[in-house]
A and B are shown apart, each in its own frame.
Chain A
Amino acid sequence: MHSLAVKLILQRIAISLLTLLFVSVAVFLITGLLPSDLAEDLLGQAVTPEAAAALRETLGLDGSPLQRYVSWMTGFLQGDLGMSLVSQRPIADLIRERLPNSVTLAAITMALTIPFALSLGILAAVYRGSWFDRAASAMAVLLISIPEFVIATVTVIIFAVWLRWLPALSFSPDADSIWEVLRAYAMPVGVLVLSSCSQMIRLSRAAVIDTLKTSYIENATLKGARRWRLVFRHALPNAVAPIVNSIALSMSSLLGGVIIIETIFNYPGLAKLMVDAVTSRDMPLIQTCAMLFTGFYLILITAADIIAILSNPRLTDR
């Protein structure tokens, strides 16, 4: 591989790490702005100024914000995520319980969305201007304009309340048959696929259309290449960068969707954990969750950038 590509990739990774650091400061400052005081909340009726101060000390809530940030960050870097202030359990344990659930949800969604959205986008580009293209584009615009919580609520009303086909609360850990699991996942996954596919359909369609307009596609046509050869051999390799970026963007918007979906369907994932932590002012837990979400986001974006760099022979092959 060429040193320019290596340099560009290292740059991307360095930028991601910097971003993560910046976000950690922002998250820390913003959680500090949340109103009310955890120590006073915990003590409830029994609060006295002395008791509150003592509790703050035990919880590590005293000291300047800078001190608290540094001690949190050092712990974080050493893998010590700290204790949840509310449940008094190690945050690492809480995450370990919830993370697999969220990853399962996101993985199933990605596995369905990517092939679905890419084939729709590519087909729409190839048959540009046809009824199929118009229908796919219209659907994408429609889906992009409806917020997830509306789609989620409407599907709950239709499938859980009226038709009673699916459970409204989607996770029953004791679901033992495959059928039950499928029923449990159907609605959250369906809503997530619908809400995250539109961007990808639109961007992949645009990317393929752009490449199909180039002179080298015309030249390949004049060599006798037929439609599918043009698309798969000549157009797609040049559309990899924008397409991978569209996947990364959609998947990162999926992270936002997960928060809403887990809340609505009461799905015990990471996002639900974070929302509950906000409700109960559990600062270390909020911070850790925010860092995890940011981390996922950055991994997606950086991976897309790296794939784009690797797919360009001008950067990798000199």
Chain B
Amino acid sequence: MTAPLVQIDDLHIAAETDSGRSFGIINGVSITVAPGEIEALIGESGSGKTTIALGLLGHFRTGCHFVSGRMVVNGKDMARLSEAERAALRGRSVSYVAQSAAAAFNPSLRIIDQVIEIALIHHTLDRAAARARAVELFRDLGLPSPETIGDRYPHQVSGGQLQRLAAAMAVIGDPMLVIFDEPTTALDVTTQIGVLRAFKRLMRDKGMTGIYVSHDLAVVAQIADRITVLKNGEVQEQGTTAEILTNAQHPYTRDLLAAFAPRPRARPAAVAPQEQTIVLEGRNILSGYGKGKGFIPAVRDVSFRLPRGASLGVIGESGCGKSTLARTLAGLLPASDGQVILSGAPLPAEARARSKEELRRLQIVFQLADTALNPATQIGDILGRPLTFFHGMRGRKRADRVAELLDMVRLPRDFAQRYPTELSGGQKQRVNFARALAAEPEVILCDEITSALDTVVAAAVLDLLAELQRELGLSYLFISHDISTVRAFCDEVMVMYAGEAVDRFAPAQMDAPERHPYTRLLVSSLPQLDPGWLDSLPEVLERGV
């Protein structure tokens, strides 16, 4: 057996809170990776997977520090080198592909200058040779016009292309070890396939050793030889990909596997269509950005009917117009044409022109609770403001209602005195949702509200939504890019593509042969736990990304 390329022994890394208290975020992790193997680190946010990955480059983010253990890469303990020695190894021994290539590329430098930078910093190639090498890599990674794509700026290429360019940037110095940190998480499923394929081919052809950090077991199943499951900075289980997928021993691994395939929730017996009252209806909605000749429609001629107490799922990839639809319904972006009808009465296109009562009955919840909640305001005030605005509540009565709302979303009552920054992502999203509930709405527009959450946390938020729907008779327009969530949660699904509603069906009919080709593409792009899934896909699935 060859000597391992990466050897992490009993690693401890600690973080410091603002108050100066130190606590362990990596607690005794050991991982060994043989040359040529791809090891996956799986876990939720906060599991320490990125901390370990960055540690292998000798990099600890502000507030984190190395405590004890060894992180040996190719015979050098990265944690114990000087900054100059680390810099000399970065990009040559170990290199890094970040989660968001959009953030990892410097917006004011041309792509090629950033891609060949490693070669120039370490003097491995001269500029012309590095450029030639980069073009070769672009070609290997299936990028369009490999000769010239590097001369563009990062904002001039698509997300999927940028992610491939980031991989080229990482491997230009022929590193022994490449660390991929959730490199496809920010991509649409249909884009993800092509990128995954390109990465897999590159790693295989070059015989590179890799560490692939992800929260997505199905993605990892396609690319990794071995898997390490992490939680709270501790190893839960380690094994080959096949062992983990088919014979998981640890309960946490089983939870992860179970969360991958959400059970359809139990629904009350379907109400016969003639008894359904339609609470929200969209008729031929046209809306978009720009004025006059510069008008670019983002939603074209979309119609839908949402029955009371039901959930309508809207899916599609980024840019398909699903969020614009929500903003149009809420009146934040007035429709250019078409009608929004709430309980039989047409609503004015602009939120400003709607009455308080109309506003109250139709609420919207945004994807990022972080930006939707005012960081300088206590939770009690965040929830109290709509109570005063819509229901004129003040003082004791308002405080009591805030407590009730916190109960409803399963948060402790004393959260009323906390600030948003003191809450976790899932808790913030609950507050975000409770704020919509405070208005006592009939319809809630949920715009990707679980997308930023970990699988297990998202599942809990969805359970809560379902429960509140049963108790309060709420109707949801549920926007998501995640087909499996929509399938499990909604009563009807509408698929949007390029601003149009191209398909609608009951969740059970998702795999039916009469589905629109784009729906079929979305469904077949969804990664499966089967390690052979990616290789078994026909090449035609790949679209120009």
Contacts and interface: CB of A to CB of B under 8 A. Distances in A.
Contact of B156 (A238, A311, A317): A317
B104 A225 contact: no
Nearest to B105: A216
B121 A312 contact: no
A312 B156 CA distance: 13
A147 interface: no
A14 B90 CA distance: 50
B277 to A, nearest CB: 48
Contact of A221 (B59, B84, B106, B108): B59
Contact of B109 (A222, A226, A234): A234
B98 A225 contact: no
Contact of A226 (B57, B87, B92): B87
B89 interface: yes
Contact of A222 (B91, B105, B106): B91
B221 to A, nearest CB: 27
Contacts of B84: 226
Contacts of A318: 156
A218 B58 CA distance: 12
B155 to A, nearest CB: 5
A318 B346 CA distance: 42
Interface in A145-192: none
Given A225-B121, A229-B121, A317-B156, A220 B95 contact: no
Given A223-B91, A314-B155, A237 B108 contact: yes
A219 interface: yes
A220 B103 CA distance: 11
A215 B100 contact: yes
Contacts of B261: none
Given A215-B98, A317-B153, A225 B117 contact: yes
A313 B121 contact: no
Contacts of B104: 215-216, 218-219
B98 A223 contact: no
Given A215-B104, A216-B103, A317-B153, A223 B169 contact: yes
Given A224-B91, A225-B117, A226-B87, A313 B108 contact: yes
Residue among B95, B98, B108 with most chain A CB within 10 A: B108
Interface string B73-91: 0000000000010011111
Contacts of B92: 224
Contacts of A226: 84, 87
B400 to A, nearest CB: 43
Contacts of B410: none
A216 B154 CA distance: 11
B121 A223 contact: yes
A237 B88 CA distance: 24
Contacts of A223: 90-91, 95-96, 117-118, 121, 169
Interface string B97-139: 0101001111111000000011001100000000000000000
Given A216-B107, A313-B107, A314-B155, A222 B117 contact: no
Contacts of B106: 216, 220, 234, 237-238
Interface residue SS majority, chain A: helix
Residue among A218, A219, A314 with most chain B CB within 10 A: A219
B169 to A, nearest CB: 7
A36 interface: no
B89 A312 contact: no
A220 B87 CA distance: 10
Nearest to A236: B108
Contact of B107 (A221, A225, A229, A238): A238
A214 interface: yes
A233 B110 CA distance: 12
A215 B99 CA distance: 10
B59 A222 contact: yes
A215 B103 contact: yes
Chain A: interface residue count, which band?
20 to 34
Contacts of A311: 108
Residue among A214, A219, A224, A311 with most chain B CB within 10 A: A224
Contact of A312 (B57, B108, B109, B169): B108
Contacts of B122: 224
A294 B155 CA distance: 38
Contacts of B88: 224
A314 B90 contact: no
A222 B95 CA distance: 7
Interface string A202-222: 000000000000111011111
Contacts of A222: 54, 57, 59, 90-91, 95-96, 98
Given A224-B87, A313-B153, A238 B121 contact: no
Contacts of A234: 106, 109
Nearest to B86: A224
Contacts of B103: 214-216, 219
Contacts of A214: 103
Nearest to B172: A223
Interface string B145-188: 00000000101100000000000010000000000000000000
Given A238-B107, A313-B108, A220 B117 contact: yes
B86 to A, nearest CB: 8
Interface string A114-145: 00000000000000000000000000000000
Contacts of A238: 106-108
A314 B107 contact: yes
A272 to B, nearest CB: 43
Nearest to A235: B106
A226 B84 CA distance: 8
Contacts of B121: 223-225, 229
A222 B118 CA distance: 10
Contacts of A216: 103-107
A260 to B, nearest CB: 39
Contacts of A314: 107, 153, 155
A222 B121 CA distance: 12
Interface string A300-311: 000000000001
A312 B59 CA distance: 30
Contacts of A317: 153, 156
Interface in A264-302: none
Nearest to B94: A222
A225 B87 CA distance: 7
8 contacts: A215-B103, A215-B104, A216-B103, A222-B57, A222-B96, A224-B90, A224-B121, A238-B106
Interface of A: 214-216, 218-226, 229, 233-234, 237-238, 311-314, 317-318
Given A216-B105, A223-B118, 4 more contacts: A216-B107, A220-B117, A224-B91, A224-B121
* Ranked 4 nearest A-B pairs via Cβ: A215-B103, A224-B90, A219-B104, A224-B91
